[in-house]
Amino acid sequence: MAAAMAVNGAVITTAVNAADSVKYEFEDAVFTGTIATDSDADASGGKVAFMKDDGVISVSVNAASAGMYDLTIYAKGEGGSKIQNLGVNGVDQGQISIGEDGYNPVSMTVKLNEGENTVTITKSWGWTKFDYLTVEAATLPEIKATQTTCCDISASAETRSLMAYLASVYGNGIISGQQEIYSNGPHGLEYEFEYLNDLTGHYPAIRGFDYGNFCCPAFGSDDGSTERVIDWVKNKNGIATSSFHLNVPKDFESYKIGDRIDWAVTTYGAKDTDFSPSKAATEGTKENEYYMQALTTLAKEFNELEEQGVPVIWRPLHEAEGGGGETGSWFWWGREGSEAYKKLWIYTYKTLTEKFGCHNLIWEWNSYNYEYSQDWYPGDEYVDIIGYDKYNCTDWSTGSPVLKHNDSAISSTFYGIMNKYDSAKMVSMAENDCFSTVDNLMSEKAGWLYFCTWYDGGSDDTNFLTNPTFNTKEDTIAMYQSDYCITLDELPADLYKKDIKPIDPALTTTKATTAPPVTTTKATTEADPNKDYGKVVFNKTTKNYKITLPEAAEDFYINVELPDGVTYANGGLGVTVPLDGEYYWVNIQWEAKQSGAVKVNVFDNFLNCSLGTEVVEDEALIEKIKAQLGTSKEYEGQIWYAAKGETALTDTSGVKIIDAYLMKDDTTTVTTTPAPSEPVDVTLLGDANCDGQVTIADSTAILQALGNPDKYGLSAQGAANADCCDPGDGVLPSDALAIQKIDAKVITKLPEITAEK
């Protein structure tokens, strides 16, 4: 090693200032092992450091002040993409993924100390040419996800409430979590939890479960998971998360569906089975029959949890990419690559949500920070949270596990994943060995949503909670007793509050492709003060009005205030209607083009109603519900969409509902209709994504456009095609439902006509 260092000469130590970007040539670095300088005309300065079978590259970086810095490495893999290990000052910072096409940049955000720092690249896969490194002060993005509502538009109130709480915590603290061991583990189910409480005085806020053994068709049986989930959430007010280590027979070709076999001849590994994940998502196959048995068992448990008001952060099919790339998976669900995996994820999502009606799930998907990790992403419409599984206290570079304490907050991985997915989703540390330290999390500004330490497996290299190589007692106490870390006793009492109405913007918000006709009402008098159903002041705390309509009246008014420059807004007045012992949630839409009084007609503006999370389609029942809308009720004022000129606003807080009232008869109503845009002919009714066919993907495209019009707005052609239920009424949730009916063969053709003529 000393000889290698001497051969490579001096190391540049130019200080990096806040506004500087300093360049370091790798051929000037210190090498160990088989790394050597090589000539390459395409490289900066014509030379590179060529890492082959082993070794470490060390670069000395001198920072003018302590803080967060961007390290950008220019390198290329030989014979394919490569993965290597990055370290700073002796602490592993995670892996870097390097492409094979030219010397392209790979950026990592790390913490540097004031003065001299050592940046190391250690061989993992090897066979990489390193050109140069740049170092500059980092400008960190705001830790805020742009999509914090559930991707399941029918998510239960408790699930939406939990999701809202997670969003309120994200970037402001970290939620503590602990995975429970399997039921017959070496220490018992409560070992880790009692250890934490005895040591720190606190239990973790999140408890990790696993439904793999319970739901395995080959050997599974009820292990009490559902009862423990209910107890943790209902009795202890905790948060539940669950993974799904589902075993399959090793010799699946010879396996007979329905047979009970020993655990030892099953696996969830990728190399030990002939089970096909793509066939598991293909109806009519043997694999699908097996997988559906598992999902059917699982759905019964989730349905029971939903009845109890218990949501679950659901993390199936995790760590699919494994060691990186298309062939790196160590689990069977990733063994056929990213396309087969995404097909299986989407099939699992649709089966549980659409077929079995499991609407109490927050869907968490695992990512890595590799070059091709995004290839495995199922899509924003099927994912709520992105998780990363952190195990970097074990070094496998030599082929054998070497344990080394590492309490880095791996901010480089956190920000790398944020950037890969455009900050759309919250990012968590879904599994971990070491959970870092409070000081590192805060100083590195690594805003992980939560951590969930894996259980103690019974040996030094698997006792992730109690082995001090992973987590010392001092660090554990400091974490659980800090203000930054949220423990079980610090979760809010109303975490699963029941008063969140079953209303979701994805069901109701319409992005008009052309400005719709809007009726506004200019009041010549105030609300009639002589009537007890007159003006009602908006309750700004509960967002409710108590409105009493006169018998048989259909019209009332809301007073809307639009901020300067906002030319269009819409929203609703939501209300719970009792009928025959059931309670239906009704949504009455309003639209406004200017501040002032807006007439709301119960029948004309009625948008939808639902019982629980199911949209009511029975026309006779709907008429009964409408008839109940004229009695005294608490109406909730809601704002869904606002536009400034042609631009949709993501923040609608400037739109206000001031009050609601019935007015005297001398009211002037003015209807304005904007000039229509150039009409677009329909090319294929229902083809919202314009791919030449009508599938469930078009329903998804419509719901995405309604839920997030700024990001997913349909093209003019797509909007024209999408209006396939009662054409002429614009793009509405009913159009998405019509396509779903076509897919389910409930109806046979489009358009679907439901409106009375």
Dihedral (C-alpha) 301, 302, 308, 314: value to the nearest 10 degrees?
A: 130
Does 651 share its domain with 687?
Answer: no
Instruction: Tell whether the model's pLDDT for residue 538 goes beyond 80.
Output: no
Two tokens, residue 246: 């589902």
* Beta carbons of 290 and 248 less than 8 angstroms apart: yes
What percent of the chain has a predicted confidence (pLDDT) above 70?
85
Calculate mean pLDDT across residues 710-714.
Answer: 74
pLDDT digits (tens, 9 = 90+) for 73-132: 999 999 888 999 999 998 888 889 899 889 999 999 999 999 999 999 999 999 999 999
The residue that leads in pLDDT, 709 or 88, is 88
Concatenating the DSSP letter of every residue in 1-48 gives -HHHHHHH-----PEEPTT-EEEEEGGGSEE-TT-EEEE-TTSGGGEE
pLDDT digits (tens, 9 = 90+) for 664-686: 544 444 433 344 445 677 888 89
Cα 103 from Cα 80, distance rounded (Å): 13
Lowest mean pLDDT among 403-407, 602-606, 669-673: 669-673
Does 683 share its domain with 664?
Answer: no
Instruction: Tell whether the model's pLDDT for residue 252 goes beyond 70.
Output: yes
Cα 712 from Cα 511, distance rounded (Å): 10
Q: Is residue 637 part of a domain?
A: yes
Provide the pLDDT confidence category of residue 464 given band limits of 50, 70 and 90.
very high
Residue 17: which CATH number?
A: 2.60.120.260
**E strand or H helix that includes residue 73:** strand 67-77
Phi, psi of 620 (to 5 degrees): -65, -40
pLDDT of residue 224: 94
Does 466 share its domain with 611?
Answer: no
Beta-carbon contacts of residue 719 (< 8 Å; ≥ 6 apart):
513, 680, 688, 731
Phi, psi of 325 (to 5 degrees): 80, -170
Residue 710: which CATH number?
A: 1.10.1330.10
Does 435 share its domain with 361?
Answer: yes
Integer CA distances (angstroms), 97 to 94, 121, 373, in order: 10, 12, 10
Residue 295: which CATH number?
A: 3.20.20.80
Lowest mean pLDDT among 92-106, 247-261, 341-355: 92-106
Provide the pLDDT confidence category of residue 522 given band limits of 50, 70 and 90.
very low
Q: Is residue 667 part of a domain?
A: yes
Does 455 share its domain with 525?
Answer: no
Phi, psi of 268 (to 5 degrees): -115, 10
pLDDT of residue 153: 87
Out of 78, 107, 137, pick the residue that ends a domain: 137
Strand order in the sheet with 518-523: 536-537, 656-661, 555-561, 596-601, 518-523, 667-672
pLDDT of residue 545: 67
pTM exceeds 0.75 for this model: no
Out of 672, 704, 736, pick the residue that ends a domain: 672
pLDDT of residue 339: 96
Two tokens, residue 466: 């109690």
Q: Is residue 150 part of a domain?
A: no
Which residue segment(s) compose the domain that 458 sits in?
Answer: 157-490
Token pair 């009928």: residue: 579
Cα 112 from Cα 175, distance rounded (Å): 26
Does 350 share its domain with 449?
Answer: yes
Does 554 share its domain with 509?
Answer: yes
Calculate mean pLDDT across residues 211-221.
Answer: 96
Does 633 share its domain with 754?
Answer: no
Cα 204 from Cα 188, distance rounded (Å): 17
Q: Among 2-11, 328-337, 650-659, 725-734, which range has the highest average pLDDT? A: 328-337
pLDDT of residue 539: 56
Q: Is residue 151 part of a domain?
A: no
* Beta carbons of 341 and 379 less than 8 angstroms apart: no
Integer CA distances (angstroms), 495 to 150, 164, 429, 448, 500, in order: 16, 9, 21, 20, 11
CA 133-75-408 angle, to 5 degrees, is 60
SS3 sequence of 240-290: EEEECCCCEECCHHHCCCCCCCCHHHEECECCCCCCCHHHHCCCCCHHHHH
Instruction: Tell whether the model's pLDDT for residue 663 goes beyond 50.
Output: yes
Q: Is residue 498 part of a domain?
A: no
Average pLDDT, the chain: 85
**E strand or H helix that includes residue 312:** strand 312-315
The residue that leads in pLDDT, 181 or 613, is 181
Cα 599 from Cα 668, distance rounded (Å): 11
| Cα 45 from chain centre | 44
Cα 37 from Cα 48, distance rounded (Å): 6
Q: Among 387-396, 468-477, 661-670, 672-681, which range has the highest average pLDDT? A: 468-477
Lowest mean pLDDT among 168-172, 483-487, 736-740: 736-740
Q: Is residue 496 part of a domain?
A: no
pLDDT digits (tens, 9 = 90+) for 268-300: 999 999 999 999 999 999 999 999 999 999 999
Cα 287 from Cα 248, distance rounded (Å): 9
Phi, psi of 122 (to 5 degrees): -110, 140
Integer CA distances (angstroms), 93 to 20, 32, 122, 546, 597, in order: 23, 20, 11, 57, 58
Calculate mean pLDDT across residues 152-179.
Answer: 95
Calculate mean pLDDT across residues 627-656.
Answer: 77
Does 609 share its domain with 475?
Answer: no
SS3 sequence of 103-168: CEEEEEEEEECCEEEEEEEECCCCCEEEEEEEEEECCCCCCCCCCCCCCCCCCCHHHHHHHHHHHH
Cα 700 from Cα 686, distance rounded (Å): 11
Provide the pLDDT confidence category of residue 502 given band limits of 50, 70 and 90.
very low
Q: Among 138-147, 494-503, 730-739, which range has the highest average pLDDT? A: 138-147
Phi, psi of 513 (to 5 degrees): -75, -25
Among 173, 192, 174, 172, residue whose Cα is nearest residue 182: 192
* Number of domains present in the structure of the chain: 4
| Amino acid identity, position 477 | I
Does 542 share its domain with 592?
Answer: yes
Lowest mean pLDDT among 369-378, 400-409, 527-536: 527-536
Instruction: Tell whether the model's pLDDT for residue 1 goes beyond 60.
Output: no
pLDDT of residue 91: 86
Does 631 share its domain with 738?
Answer: no
pLDDT of residue 49: 97
Out of 672, 693, 718, pick the residue that ends a domain: 672
Does 99 share its domain with 180?
Answer: no
Lowest mean pLDDT among 184-193, 199-208, 212-221, 391-400: 391-400
pLDDT of residue 632: 62
Instruction: Tell whether the model's pLDDT for residue 133 goes beyond 70.
Output: yes
678-685 contact pairs (CB < 8 A, 24+):
679/720, 680/716, 680/717, 680/719, 680/720, 681/720, 682/720, 682/721, 682/723, 683/717, 683/720, 683/721, 684/721, 685/721, 685/724, 685/727, 685/750, 685/751
pLDDT of residue 542: 55
Q: Is residue 425 part of a domain?
A: yes
pLDDT of residue 232: 98
Provide the pLDDT confidence category of residue 646 given band limits of 50, 70 and 90.
low
Q: Is residue 302 part of a domain?
A: yes
